[in-house]
Amino acid sequence: MSEGKSALFPNYARFPLTLVKGQGGKVWDDQGNEYLDFVNGIAVTNLGHCHPGVSEKLKAQIDTLWHVGNLYHIPNQEKLAKLLTRESGLDAAFFCNSGAEANEAAIKLARRYHAKVAGQARPDIITFHQSFHGRTLATLTATGQDKVKDGFHPLPEGFVYAPYNQVEGLESLVTERTGAIMLELVQGEGGVNPATPEFVAEILRLRDQYGLLVIVDEIQTGIGRTGKLFAFQHYGFVPDIITLAKGLGNGFPIGAMLGAEKLREAFSAGSHGSTFGGTPIATAAAIATIEIMLEEKLPERVAELGASFRKLLETKLAGNPLVRGVRGLGLLVGVACETPVAGIIADLQNEGLLTMPAGPNVLRLLPNFYVTQEELEFAAERIAGVLAKHAEAAAAATGSNG
């Protein structure tokens, strides 16, 4: 990093690393140090850095056409929409630039469906504690974490919050104003918490009984990360709306919202849009990513490696008093700790392994889908070693204070 005061707003608590090169599952900093990347841009480069199949399609599209806007038909959009709706069981797609923008579209679609199609305004949406849905004003309001709302009041109305994975009391929050329930099936930022089958079953019962829409935020869980192409496929139902981003373009920015047929007429020309949504380049990257993932059956590989990795971590971390458990789905893995993980992450960087937090006390691990068994063992060894040192230090501190 250059010397002197940064010209950037200080939005991010950046790690003291400047990464300048990436290939597959590894990245290098500006000092030439090599790291095994278990962050991957926060579950974005699922196929690894600079995947040749995606790069080839991107370069071809860059030499053909970059941008025309949604005033015109864009063949890549139609192709990607058919691919995503075929695989998801949903019926229509809207393309945008990010996860927050996809969730914003989902909130607007749910409200407009009830107001314009179903015939009764039902603006309220139930979301859950510790959820994370984005940084726009509506999506941070939907988020069930007060820290993201600090200083941004007044917030939009119409969001009601409930405990995650708690069935009791959920029905009492449904009123005649309630139009939708919005959730992540594995909370990422909220601590890598998978939804229980009982919790999902109750949400589906409420959908049927009260005519609610179920919006599943698949920004982090979608596109193979949990061991299926979409996380909802683990639970045996099809949501009314899902949102996608992160891994969809393997690093090229693109977001998407998919909806059921009955919602198609809720949007009309001029009701919603995005200047850069679904550009020829972004959709080329997403088509290449999805096709590679399906052709190589990578979700199945993720399921097998994820189960193996969690078991390996449980074995390596057994008996460490700082570890409360290993959890997750596929290659979205969390190590819950009794202590803040910031220092653990810093020590792992010094060991050549990049990780990130999921809340203050959970270590989040997001390897790419081509990760090898040897790399998983390397990571588990480093995590076990660093956590053992932290446990020894904590025990020594307790002893000295006692």
Flag whether 125 is marked binding: no
Pairing of strands 92-96, 332-337: unpaired
Residue 175 CA to residue 295 CA, distance in Å, equals: 45
Residue given tokens 């919790």 in the structure block: 199
Residue 309 CA to residue 300 CA, distance in Å, equals: 14
CB 310 within 8 A of CB 329: no
Cα 5–9–15 angle (5° rounding)? 75
Cβ of 47: how many Cβ atoms within 10 Å?
26
Flag whether 241 is marked binding: no
Bridge partners (DSSP) of residue 159 are: 125
Residue given tokens 């893995």 in the structure block: 333
Region of residue 385 (phi > 0: left; psi between -120 and 50: alpha; otherwise: beta): alpha
Residue 196 CA to residue 201 CA, distance in Å, equals: 9
Flag whether 275 is marked binding: yes
Flag whether 130 is marked binding: no
**Which residue in 207, 223, 224, 217 sits closest to 262, CA to CA?**
207
Flag whether 220 is marked binding: yes
**Residues 6 or more apart whose Cβ sits within 8 Å of residue 64:** 280
**Residues 6 or more apart whose Cβ sits within 8 Å of residue 377:** 312
Pairing of strands 213-217, 178-183: parallel
Residue 287 CA to residue 61 CA, distance in Å, equals: 12
Flag whether 219 is marked binding: yes
Flag whether 132 is marked binding: yes
Flag whether 100 is marked binding: yes
Residues forming the annotated binding site for N(2)-acetyl-L-ornithine?
A: 135, 274
Q: Which residues are annotated as a binding site for pyridoxal 5'-phosphate?
A: 99-100, 132, 217-220, 275
Binding residues: 99-100, 132, 135, 217-220, 274-275
